[in-house]
Amino acid sequence: VENAPLSPKPKQGHLPIVIGARGPRMLKLVARYADTWNCHGSPDEVAARGETLREACIAIGRDPGSIRWSLYGYASVLGSDPFASVDTFRRIVEPYRAVGVREVIFELPDRYDERVLRGIVEDVLPEWRYSSGRNALNVERGQPTCRW
C-alpha cells in the first residue's frame, strides 16, 4: 500500500497485520505483508497451505518463521466442541500445533464448564508455554484466543 497515511499514528508503533488466506495468491500477500497468517481447515490442509506460504516467503527472501500461524476453529471443521473436556481440547489442538499453528481462536459455546477452561488455562497452556516459551489466554467478545 502506498500513499495511504494513517492518522493519528498508533501508540504502540507497528500495528500487527493479520491476513486470513487459503489460496496461493493470498498466501503471497501473507508472505509479503502479514505478521500473522489466520487459517482454517484440517491439520493436513493447514500444513499444505503452510508449505505454499513457506515457498512464497523464500521466494521474496523472508524468513517463514517470522509469520505466526493462527487458526480459527470452526466447530464444523473440528468435529466436536474443544471445551467438552481438557482431553478433548488437547486432542483437537495438538495436530494443529504439530503442523505449526501457535494460536487458536474458538467460538465459546453458550454453555461451558468453567472447570474445563480452568484446566486448559492452568494445565495445558503452561505446558505448551514451557515447550515454546510463550503463553496467553484472552477472551474477547466471547471468543477465547489461546496462544503458546
Instruction: Flag whether pLDDT at 148 surpasses 70.
Output: no
Q: Is residue 84's pLDDT more than 80?
A: yes
Cell of 21: 488466506
Place of cell 517463514: 64
pLDDT one-digit tens code per residue, 111-124: 889 999 999 989 99
User: Residue 111 region, left (φ>0) first, then alpha (ψ -120 to 50), else beta?
Assistant: beta
Q: For 20-73, how does the pLDDT look when each residue is reduced to its tens digit (9 = 90+)?
A: 999 999 999 999 999 999 999 999 999 999 999 999 999 999 999 999 999 998
- Its pTM stands at 0.80
- Asked whether the beta carbons of 121 and 110 are under 8 A apart, the reply is no
